[in-house]
Amino acid sequence: MGKITGFKEYERKSHGYHPVKERVGHHHEFMVPLAEDDLKLQGARCMDCGVPFCHNGCPLGNFIPDWNDLVYHGRWQEAIRRLHATNNFPEVTGRICPAPCESSCVLNIHNTPVTIKQIECAIVDRAFDSGWIAPEAPTRRTGKKVAVIGSGPAGMAAAQQLNRAGHTVTLFERDDRIGGLMMYGIPDFKLEKRVVQRRVEQLAAEGVQLSPNTHVGVDISAAQLRDEFDAVCICVGSTVPRDLRVPGRELSGVHFAMEFLVPQNRRNWGDRLDPAHDLLATGKRVVILGGGDTGSDCLGTSIRHGAKHITQIELLPEPPDQRPSDNPWPQWPRVMRESTSHEEGGERMFATLTKSFEGKGGKLTALNAVRVQWQPDASGRPQMSEIPGSAFSIPCDMVLLAMGYLHPETAGFVKDLGCDLDERGNLKAGADYQTSVPGVFAAGDARRGQSLVVWAIAEGRQAARQIDRYLMGETHLP
């Protein structure tokens, strides 16, 4: 423990952001990190609790009190070793994790948790800047071959762990770049792609065989996979978006969020875009359906494009500012959240149901909606009903559907392999991450449904451990 009385002496201090006016003029990250002295004092606030609830809050089980203490004492190189012991890509979680660890920090009982996420990010950024992070190629090869399909955080983590255990790993990706949603989906202003690319290069230097532009099920069949590899790990994400089948859905101007976000990632790389897919919100009246991460990313991107007006609509009611009594610490607080994109502009509407889209000459001109109320039924489950006489229209030129993802695409090689699905359409795999087909494993959003990067890394690591045990009869992977 850094300083026994640290939590009483020092206030929580967070990093800053560049001013809104400045940052909306570009697509780069805009966080202003804390100075080293401030970070040390923030590390000193950790109480090293007998029962560290933060461990439990973090899906990776990060050794948070250990590295808080090491940062307080200025032992940064040891801190990165401790951080890497549980997390392959802390520079990603340190930027975009919603930090459930901080929600469960004991100091959060008074709403002043340790700034865990910022300390995590500072440790790894410093380690990269200082040249402390180098490829870790295995010293011996086992002769076993593993195919990892899908190169998001789950696939990258699984590939890195399996390769370090000495297996020969091929990481297949249907897109032209490795990284999954970290590369194509999440905007650069939250996570610059150089940060992801740096790890891709590390994987290659460690000996992982990267195979972008390879659509498994199209370019390589399920039968080939079984013939050529001793084990398969399916990390294809949850990529089937929830649609809104209301009148007018076919109008030009109604798009899935990814049709809008991915081209912006490509534009930032300097890729040449097919004009048919070069979607911009510039000068448009935009409505975003969905209040989660994807919706918020559409908002930030639309603002940067110079949209005329933006409305973000959420079906659920506005959450409270404070924790309700049935949602106590250390649970994840179900409270109103404001992302950095919300600080930048746009209007938010809650408890609103879209009924139809209107258009002229095949082009979207308006969205028709109605207000709803949510009340518990006899069993206590909230039920939605429309408020009579509350119908209204919003004139708009672009609607972005950001209402979540249903399940992975399973019609191709997953079906050919014969893997069972669960009741939600995700790959069915138990605590050993093995699907119904021996030797075929699954991890990340494809297994658990749409989730978070931190969970994808955790699942990729755990699946790797189980695959290593399957191949070798025992495992030394963490």
Ligand X SMILES: Cc1cc2nc3c(=O)[nH]c(=O)nc-3n(C[C@H](O)[C@H](O)[C@H](O)COP(=O)(O)OP(=O)(O)OC[C@H]3O[C@@H](n4cnc5c(N)ncnc54)[C@H](O)[C@@H]3O)c2cc1C
Characterize the bridge pairing of strands 145-149 and 168-172: parallel
What kind and span of H or E run contains 389? Answer: none
Smaller CB separation from ligand SF4, 125 or 416:
125
In the region spanning residues 120 to 149, those forming contacts with ligand X, defined by CB under 6 A, are 149
Token code pair at residue 430: 């138990």
Query: Hey, how many other C-beta atoms are within 10 angstroms of the C-beta on 439?
Result: 16
* Dihedral of alpha carbons 456, 433, 148, 86, sign: positive
List 7, 24, 62, 113, residue binding ligand SF4 (CB under 6 A): 62
Contact status: 351 vs ligand X (CB under 6 A):
no
Contact status: 354 vs ligand SF4 (CB under 6 A):
no
Smaller CB separation from ligand SF4, 98 or 319:
98
Smaller CB separation from ligand SF4, 60 or 191:
60
Interface mask toward ligand SF4 for 66-105; x: CB under 6 A: ---------------------------x---x-xxx----
Give Rg (Cα) of the chain.
23
Q: Closest approach of Cβ 211 to ligand X, in Å?
A: 9
> From ligand SF4, ligand X, none, which one binds at residue 295 (CB under 5 to 8 Å depending on kind)?
none
Integer Cα distance of 369 and 165 in angstroms:
55
Contact status: 344 vs ligand SF4 (CB under 6 A):
no
Q: Helices in 317-375 by DSSP H: which ranges?
A: 340-344
Contact status: 60 vs ligand SF4 (CB under 6 A):
yes
Q: Closest approach of Cβ 267 to ligand X, in Å?
A: 16
Integer Cα distance of 230 and 261 in angstroms:
37
Phi then psi for residue 385, to 5 deg, are: -140, 150
Contact status: 444 vs ligand X (CB under 6 A):
yes
Smaller CB separation from ligand X, 216 or 394:
216
Burial 129-148 (b: 16+ CB within 10 A, else e): eeeebeeeeeeeebebbbbb
Integer Cα distance of 142 and 339 in angstroms:
46
Q: Closest approach of Cβ 441 to ligand SF4, in Å?
A: 23
What kind and span of H or E run contains 93? Answer: helix 90-96
Contact status: 459 vs ligand SF4 (CB under 6 A):
no
Place of tokens 């695959």: 467
Q: Are 44 and 6 in contact (CB under 8 A)?
A: yes
Q: Are 88 and 200 in contact (CB under 8 A)?
A: no
Q: Closest approach of Cβ 65 to ligand SF4, in Å?
A: 11
Quick check: helix, strand or coil at residue 400? strand
> From ligand X, ligand SF4, none, which one binds at residue 91 (CB under 5 to 8 Å depending on kind)?
none
Residues that bind ligand SF4 (rule: CB under 6 A) add up to a total of: 14
Q: Are 79 and 125 in contact (CB under 8 A)?
A: no
Interface mask toward ligand X for 150-189; x: CB under 6 A: xxxxxx----------------xxxx----xx---xx---
> From ligand X, ligand SF4, none, which one binds at residue 62 (CB under 5 to 8 Å depending on kind)?
ligand SF4
Integer Cα distance of 451 and 61 in angstroms:
17
In the region spanning residues 187 to 206, those forming contacts with ligand X, defined by CB under 6 A, are 190
Query: Hey, how many other C-beta atoms are within 10 angstroms of the C-beta on 18?
Result: 16
Place of tokens 């639309």: 302
Strand partners, 370: 353
List 215, 226, 242, 309, residue binding ligand X (CB under 6 A): 215
Q: Closest approach of Cβ 286 to ligand X, in Å?
A: 16
Integer Cα distance of 65 and 69 in angstroms:
6
> From ligand X, ligand SF4, none, which one binds at residue 95 (CB under 5 to 8 Å depending on kind)?
none
> From ligand X, ligand SF4, none, which one binds at residue 344 (CB under 5 to 8 Å depending on kind)?
none
Q: Closest approach of Cβ 217 to ligand X, in Å?
A: 5
Smaller CB separation from ligand X, 71 or 97:
97
Contact status: 217 vs ligand X (CB under 6 A):
yes
Contact status: 117 vs ligand SF4 (CB under 6 A):
yes
* Dihedral of alpha carbons 297, 303, 306, 310, sign: positive
Token code pair at residue 7: 């939590």
| Binding site residues, ligand SF4, CB under 6 A | 57-58, 60, 62, 64, 93, 97, 99-101, 116-117, 120, 454
| Binding site residues, ligand X, CB under 6 A | 96-97, 149-155, 172-175, 180-181, 185-186, 190, 215-217, 235-237, 261, 293-294, 297, 409, 412-413, 444-446, 451-454, 456
